[in-house]
């Protein structure tokens, strides 16, 4: 099966499911920092072109992301790399794990 990019509707459903599975404390934290879904350019390596990650939250210089290629949530520190594209981010299997790094 070939990879297909996730739609914003599919991502929204996946986020809602992840929020449902969170602890109450994590749910409150997420709702307090949640932002409208946006995108940021990224580059996985020299053999790949520019791609996009979904930005779910921003807190200071940290972005909470969704990587639809890896199907995982992640954290990137925005700023020390310049604007875009992002070159480094750390992935987590759940939204709650990523949120704990925000």
Read off the pLDDT of residues 2-22 as tens digits, 9 standing for 90 and up: 888 899 999 999 999 999 999
pLDDT in tens, 52-73: 999 999 888 899 999 999 999 9
Kindly tell me if the per-residue pLDDT of 84 is higher than 70: no
Question: DSSP 3-state assignment of 44?
Answer: coil
Question: In the prediction, which pLDDT does 15 show?
Answer: 96
Question: DSSP 3-state assignment of 31?
Answer: helix
pTM above 0.85, yes or no: yes
Mean pLDDT (the chain, rounded): 90
* Three-state SS letters, 45-96: CCCCCEEEEEEEEEECCEEEEEECCCCEEEEEECECCECCCECCCEEECCHH
Please state whether beta strands 62-67 and 72-77 pair in parallel, antiparallel, or not at all (unpaired). Answer: antiparallel
Kindly tell me if the per-residue pLDDT of 89 is higher than 90: yes
Contact criterion met (CB below 8 Å) for 44 and 51: yes
Kindly tell me if the per-residue pLDDT of 45 is higher than 90: no
Nearest-10 crossing angle of helices 24-33, 8-21: 140
Question: In the prediction, which pLDDT does 80 show?
Answer: 56
The whole-angstrom separation of Cα 23 and Cα 43 is: 33
Question: In the prediction, which pLDDT does 1 show?
Answer: 66
């Amino acid at each position: 099966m070939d990879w297909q990019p996730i739609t914003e509707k599919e991502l929204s459903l996946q986020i809602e499911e992840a929020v449902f599975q969170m602890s109450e404390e994590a749910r409150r934290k997420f709702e307090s920092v949640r932002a409208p879904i946006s995108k940021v350019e990224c580059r996985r390596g020299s053999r790949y072109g520019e791609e996009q990650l979904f930005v779910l939250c921003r807190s200071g210089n940290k972005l909470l992301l969704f990587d639809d290629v890896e199907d995982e949530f992640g954290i990137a520190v925005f700023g020390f790399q310049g604007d875009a594209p992002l070159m480094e981010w750390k992935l987590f299997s759940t939204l709650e794990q990523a949120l704990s790094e925000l």
